[in-house]
Amino acid sequence: MTGKVSTILILGARGDLASRLLLPAVGQLLMTEPGRTLHLIGSGSGEWTDDTWRQRVKESFDSASVTGEAAASVLKSTTYLSGDVTAPKDLQKLIDACEGAPAIYFALPPAVVVQACAALERVRLPAGTVFALEKPFGTDEASAHALNQQILRLVPEEQIYRVDHFLGRSTVFNLLGLRFANGIFEPLWNSKYIEKVEIVYDEQLALEGRARYYDKAGALIDMIQSHLLQVMSVLAMEPPATLGAGDLRDAKGLVLRATHVFDDDPRASSRRARYTAGKVGERALPSYVDEAGVDPAMMTETLAEVTLDIANWRWAGVPFTLRSGKALAKRQREIIVTFKQVPHLPTGLTGLDTPTVLRIALAPDEMSLELNINGPGDPRVLKRVDLHAGFGPGHLLAYGEILSAILDGDPSLSVRGDTAEQCWRIVAPVLAAWGKEEVPLVDYAAGSQGPKEWNDTPLKGRNQF
């Protein structure tokens, strides 16, 4: 834990992230922890009065049904300052307006973040200043490394929060609790007993007007590189001694350092697809390439699958398949752990054709353990049952957890610099193979389950639809 901060300076405060996700989370945090002292300063390149800014903050608070005196007091006192974050003089003015060391939240386009950090080298930062940086962190391993070097010249690693909202959800602790508070899972949590692991995040949402960002990213970077690798690292990590930042981040880092594309063969272990016109439920969608702002020549995938190997003693040889896509028939957000079949079913017992499966649904988090037990009637015939349980919801939105950790100086749920670089390293061979068109970009109709041919020949480690 590092020192606490009580001022949040949002750069890019007029943008989408700030109004839709950050400000509602600020309000929710103040409702949950009304004793917290908080100064909020918004900044953007455009001129706004304090009143216009307060109206924006109010709308964001209202969107999360925020009430209470603490939020009202912040709403009254918050101020807006305009400035160009690439100009050191403007940045100095913003920093000087903060009470003590601020948490600077970079809600800025990625290229502007790099320019702002360069400008900050010519600014006096109070000791204890904290940086919160959004995804994407860099555009590849080299640029992530360069960005790390650049920000480390400004503040130490413990004061840098690389935000991944998946880590702000209760999921991390739910996985840790399930794995390490129950003696029955850990002895089986390895290649001897586990056949394969799938981490799936299929969305019904489509591009939703985000071409400027998404068309350069695509599903692999937007979801697998940014979020699902983090989930995988928690699922696969060695038991940490504590939930402290050092132990958790070391354990995640070890998993990611050992991870590479299955068989080091991106052609056989990855695939990509893009939606064409179709209907998701009642909603008609155009082809991705016809969405406003999309450049078809970018060949951006809206559905990606990659199979990975974690080359260590526990996991070597177990396929971990990560998949995410947009405009799909149904929302499926889950981790599926498929255990190996029993080595021998006593002769006379029948009906067993599926191994034990543990499913962990994400947001809301739930689990079900699918088992084979003796059914009614003939007790020699097995049937499938689900043992189902819900994990309690967290008391804060993901961004609320993230802000609370930033203000309290607890980096355990943010991405460490080396890990951010590792995530780019892991997907690099896939991006290279796709760039050389060694893996075809195939079509699927919006509202379908993905390309039909993927079902006929699933990627290693994938179930059929």
Ligand X SMILES: NC(=O)C1=CN([C@@H]2O[C@H](COP(=O)(O)OP(=O)(O)OC[C@H]3O[C@@H](n4cnc5c(N)ncnc54)[C@H](OP(=O)(O)O)[C@@H]3O)[C@@H](O)[C@H]2O)C=CC1
Ligand Y SMILES: O=C1O[C@H](COP(=O)(O)O)[C@@H](O)[C@H](O)[C@H]1O
Q: Using CB under 6 A as the criterion, which residues of the chain lie in contact with ligand Y when the complex forms? A: 203, 205, 222
Q: Is 305 annotated as a binding residue?
A: no
Q: Which is nearer to ligand Y, 1 or 205 (CB)?
A: 205
DSSP one-letter string for 167-199: HHSTHHHHHHHHHHS-TTTGGG-STTTEEEEEE
Write down the least CB distance from residue 356 to ligand Y, Å: 28
- The least CB distance from residue 167 to ligand Y, in Å, is 12
Strand partners, 360: 335, 367
Q: What is the DSSP letter of 353?
A: -
Return the bridge partners of 368, or none: 359, 388
- CA distances to 72, 172, 186, 334, 339 from 390, rounded to whole Å, are 34, 15, 20, 13, 21
- Find the shortest distance in angstroms from Cβ 326 to ligand X: 14
Task: Tell me how far, at minimum, the Cβ of 136 lies from ligand Y, in Å.
Answer: 9
Between 71 and 289, CB nearer to ligand Y: 289
Residue nearest ligand Y by beta-carbon distance: 222
The item of ligand X, ligand Y, none sharing an interface with residue 110, based on CB under 5 to 8 Å by kind, is ligand X
| Residue 203 interacting partner from ligand X, ligand Y, none (CB closer than 5 to 8 Å by kind) | ligand Y
- Containing H/E element for 247? helix 245-257
Select the residue whose beta carbon is closest to ligand X and give its number: 15
What residues contact 414, with CB distance under 8 A and at least 6 apart?
A: 160, 161, 162, 163, 164, 167, 402, 405, 406
Among 39, 145, 227, 344, the one annotated catalytic:
227
Q: Checking DSSP bridges between strand 270-276 and strand 441-445, what pairing results, if any?
A: parallel
Residue with smaller CB distance to ligand X, 206 or 336: 206
> What gap in Å lies between CA 336 and CA 198, rounded to an integer?
5
Tokens of 356: 């034990």
The least distance separating ligand X from the CB of residue 114, rounded to whole angstroms, comes to: 11
Find which of ligand Y, ligand X, none residue 12 binds, CB within 5 to 8 Å per kind: ligand X
- Of 43 and 332, nearer to ligand Y (C-beta) is 332
**For ligand Y, the closer CB: 194 or 398:** 398
222 annotated ligand-binding residue: yes
340 annotated as ligand-binding: no
Q: Which of ligand X, ligand Y, none does 222 bind, CB closer than 5 to 8 A by kind?
A: ligand Y
Q: Residue 297 and residue 460: Cα distance in Å, rounded?
A: 29
Spatial strand order in the sheet of 79-82: 79-82, 39-44, 7-11, 102-106, 130-133, 160-162
Annotated binding-site residue? 26: no
Q: 128 near 100, Cβ under 8 Å? A: yes
Q: Return the number of other C-beta atoms located less than 10 Å from residue 435's C-beta.
A: 10
Question: Footprint of ligand X on this chain (CB under 6 A)?
Answer: 12, 14-18, 44-46, 84-86, 107-110, 112, 134-135, 213
Told to judge if 395 belongs to the known catalytic residues of this protein, a careful annotator would answer: no
φ, ψ of residue 6 in degrees (nearest 5): -125, 0
Q: Which residues are annotated as a binding site?
A: 45, 84-85, 135, 165, 203, 222, 326
Residues annotated as catalytic are 227
Q: Which residues are annotated as a binding site for NADP(+)?
A: 45, 84-85, 135
Q: Which residues are annotated as a binding site for substrate?
A: 165, 203, 222, 326
